[in-house]
Amino acid sequence: DFISGIYNYCDRWCERCPFTTRCMNFALGREEFPDDASRDVRNAEFWEGISGMLQATIELLYEMAEERGIDLDAVDTTAIMAEEERQREVAQAHPCAAASKAYADSVDNWFAAAGDLFRQKGEALATALRLNLTDVDPGAETNRLSDAVAVIRWHQFQIHVRLMRALQGRHDEENLADVLEGFPKDSDGSAKVALIGIDRSIAAWGKLLRDFPSRETETLEILVHLDRLRRVVEREFPEARAFVRPGFDFLDAWGWARGRGGSGSANGCPSPHSPTADLPKPATRGYNPTCSGG
């Protein structure tokens, strides 16, 4: 019972996804590569198989083209590639792309400079555990911190990648405006996935802001940068928040949105397994900074 196209607008974090049982992409991966060892072997077999198929297909194509008098060189690939390159450059120069790339770099810089902070934090939590301090739960605290770091690292580059897809896609959509009239736009879907990554990263940085006061200024700079990026993306893609992602933002027959908080405790949303996670929510197009699902 797969949800069609659910994997097109997710964050590809299958380990944390509440929809693995409804995702064909996940199921195919499981079926083909049930464990790491088989995945390596099957990967090698897979690419060998593809290589063989490519050779056979090219030969067939040449034969058929010759039979039918088709000139395979007639397509002006140079012009197409030049246009794609131009679009990529235009997208890269866009403030959203530049800001999201700068964000990814600033994350690396923050963690590089954080150095001993995590070790010191670990020691403090170990001490709390040894002294049996009742006001601290070292296990839960460690999980919360590692969740926050995992969320930041997962979305660090994805935000930029998704925004590039949104910016480049928007250009194509403008050229095909007549054909695509009335259909949801892929650029809005990609921008929404980027926005969700930004929302979750903001929530996760909040945890680091509280836990590492000595890095308050640097952390605050990142938060301000992310918040500005969020606003710019929302201005550039005003319909992105309203884009309905298959599965994650499914509207049922009664018009109730059934989106879920997908990244667990780091964003403060109910986890997929919490008693409230499956409660239907009223359909809304409003901004919900952390519980976007997917």
For tokens 């695509």, the residue is 180
Region of 6-14, 99-107, 140-148, 217-225 interacting with ligand SF4 (CB under 6 A): 6-14
Closer residue to ligand SF4 in complex, CB, 22/225: 22
Region of 8-16, 30-38, 114-122, 138-146 interacting with ligand SF4 (CB under 6 A): 8-16
Q: CB of 6: closest distance to ligand SF4 in angstroms? A: 5
Closer residue to ligand SF4 in complex, CB, 25/106: 25
Binding mask 13-52 for ligand SF4 (x = CB under 6 A): xx--x-xx--x-xx--------------------------
Angle, vertex CA 249, rays to CA 245 and CA 251, nearest 5: 115
Q: Which of 7, 103, 237, 250 binds ligand SF4 (CB under 6 A)?
A: 7
Closer residue to ligand SF4 in complex, CB, 97/197: 197
What is the rounded CA–CA span in Å between residue 279 and residue 238? Answer: 28
What is the rounded CA–CA span in Å between residue 219 and residue 140? Answer: 22
Region of 7-15, 81-89, 142-150, 163-171 interacting with ligand SF4 (CB under 6 A): 7-15
In the beta sheet, which residues pair with residue 281?
257
Closer residue to ligand SF4 in complex, CB, 26/237: 26
Q: CB of 100: closest distance to ligand SF4 in angstroms? A: 20
What is the rounded CA–CA span in Å between residue 86 and residue 95? Answer: 16
Closer residue to ligand SF4 in complex, CB, 17/166: 17
Q: CB of 271: closest distance to ligand SF4 in angstroms? A: 15
What is the rounded CA–CA span in Å between residue 41 and residue 23? Answer: 24
What is the rounded CA–CA span in Å between residue 251 and residue 232? Answer: 27
Q: CB of 28: closest distance to ligand SF4 in angstroms? A: 10
Closer residue to ligand SF4 in complex, CB, 10/198: 10
Q: Which of 4, 12, 276, 287 binds ligand SF4 (CB under 6 A)?
A: 12
Closer residue to ligand SF4 in complex, CB, 10/114: 10
Q: CB of 11: closest distance to ligand SF4 in angstroms? A: 6
Residue 42's contacts (CB-CB under 8 Å, 6 or more residues apart) are 32, 33
Closer residue to ligand SF4 in complex, CB, 12/285: 12
- By CB under 6 A, the residues from 123 to 162 that bind ligand SF4 are none
Query: Contacts with ligand SF4: how many residues (CB under 6 A)?
Result: 12
Residues at the interface with ligand SF4 (CB under 6 A): 6-7, 10, 12-14, 17, 19-20, 23, 25-26
